């Protein structure tokens, strides 16, 4: 595994023999990676991008080649923003995501798949953006990750799920190996044959999975760490042995840990120094550091 700074990367960064952890602004790195290289891109972007102090509208968000991006000049998007009266911070969030998602589409292989992990409160707005960038015909699934932890308010139904939006690069060309995914127990094993009950069932688009246990072996202490179990399903189903996987909001490096275990290659990007340090410690046990 090599750790490189994004501000020191060459204009083109070919994928070589080493897994990569890139420290710095993710868009700077994405534009340097070779197109069509990744089987799987998994991202879990934070809602608070840290850029709300930069007063921008969607119509004037910067892009790497200088073209206008966001919703300016595109009637559908502009009308959507005006009708729903999004706050500036939300507009900033979509503008922040758009050039990065454009790069994600460029970087996916023809058989590749994007898994976009988002808070339930933003999922429907982000889906409109993904529909526009990828095409509605490239929408594959909406996965619901359901868990049960934290507080339970008494004035509404407790919110205990995240949304994972799944898009493919080319409709019908995507790789999906249903048999590579670990099976799970039937909820009513008495209703199926003993053979089926023993084998278990393939997961559906609703995943019941606990958070990272406080005293679990995979716990790193990183605040937004996601469990390896849910990321493993994505990597196992949608990538091939030896294929490349990408996470450009890498955090604690869960995608890298899973990819290493499954015999896949990875590129992880994060701008936080504490995230890079967590990944160094976590991935050093499963990958060789050069």
DSSP bridge pairs for 167: 114, 139
Check if the beta carbon of residue 238 is closer than 8 Å to that of residue 175: yes
Residue with tokens 């992880």: 268
Please provide residue 268's backbone torsions phi and psi, each rounded to the nearest 5 degrees.
-120, 140
Report the pLDDT value the prediction gives residue 91, as an integer from 0 to 100.
59
Report the pLDDT value the prediction gives residue 73, as an integer from 0 to 100.
52
Half-sphere exposure (CA, 13 Å, Cβ side) for 26? 25
CA distance 98 to 58: 10
Report the pLDDT value the prediction gives residue 155, as an integer from 0 to 100.
92
Question: Does an H or E element contain 116, and which?
Answer: strand 108-118
CA distance 245 to 259: 7
| Ordered per-residue pLDDT tens for the chain, 290 residues | 899 999 999 999 999 889 999 999 999 999 999 999 999 999 999 854 343 323 233 343 444 554 444 444 543 343 333 322 224 355 588 889 999 999 999 999 999 999 999 988 889 999 999 999 999 999 999 999 998 877 888 899 888 899 999 999 999 999 999 999 999 999 899 999 999 999 999 999 999 888 776 666 777 777 778 889 999 999 999 999 999 999 999 999 999 999 999 999 999 999 999 999 999 999 984 443 33
> Does residue 91 sit in helix, strand or coil?
helix
Lookup: tokens for 170: 């080319």
Closest by CA to 41, choosing from 105, 98, 115, 102, is: 115
Report the pLDDT value the prediction gives residue 287, as an integer from 0 to 100.
43
pTM of the model: 0.82
Report the pLDDT value the prediction gives residue 150, as an integer from 0 to 100.
74
Report the pLDDT value the prediction gives residue 196, as an integer from 0 to 100.
94
**Domain over 37-236+255-265 is classified CATH 3.40.50.150:** yes
């Amino acid at each position: 595994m090599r750790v490189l700074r994004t501000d020191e990367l060459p204009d083109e960064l070919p994928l070589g023999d080493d897994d990569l952890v890139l420290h710095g602004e993710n868009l700077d790195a994405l534009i340097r990676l070779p197109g069509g290289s990744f089987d799987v891109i998994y991202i879990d972007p934070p809602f608070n991008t840290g850029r709300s102090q930069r007063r921008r509208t969607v119509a004037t968000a910067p892009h790497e080649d200088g073209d206008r991006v966001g919703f300016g000049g595109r009637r559908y998007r502009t009308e959507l923003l005006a009708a729903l009266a999004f706050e500036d911070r939300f507009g900033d969030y979509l503008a922040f995501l758009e050039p990065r998602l454009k790069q994600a589409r460029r970087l996916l292989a023809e058989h590749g798949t994007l898994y976009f992990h988002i808070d339930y409160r933003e999922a429907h707005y982000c889906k409109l953006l993904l529909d526009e960038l990828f095409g509605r015909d490239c929408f594959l699934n909406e996965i619901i990750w359901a868990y049960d932890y934290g507080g339970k308010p008494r004035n509404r139904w407790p919110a205990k799920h995240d949304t994972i939006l799944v898009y493919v690069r080319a409709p019908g060309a995507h790789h999906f190996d249903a048999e590579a995914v670990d099976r799970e127990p039937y909820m009513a094993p008495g209703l199926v044959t003993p053979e089926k009950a023993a084998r278990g069932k393939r997961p559906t688009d609703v995943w019941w999975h606990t958070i990272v246990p406080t005293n679990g072996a995979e716990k790193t202490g990183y605040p937004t760490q996601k469990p390896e179990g849910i990321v493993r399903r994505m990597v196992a189903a949608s990538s091939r042995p030896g294929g490349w996987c990408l996470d450009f909001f890498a955090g604690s490096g869960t995608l890298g840990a899973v990819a290493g275990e499954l015999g896949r290659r990875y590129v992880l990007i994060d701008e936080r120094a504490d995230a890079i340090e967590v990944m160094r410690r976590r991935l050093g046990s499963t990958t060789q550091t050069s």
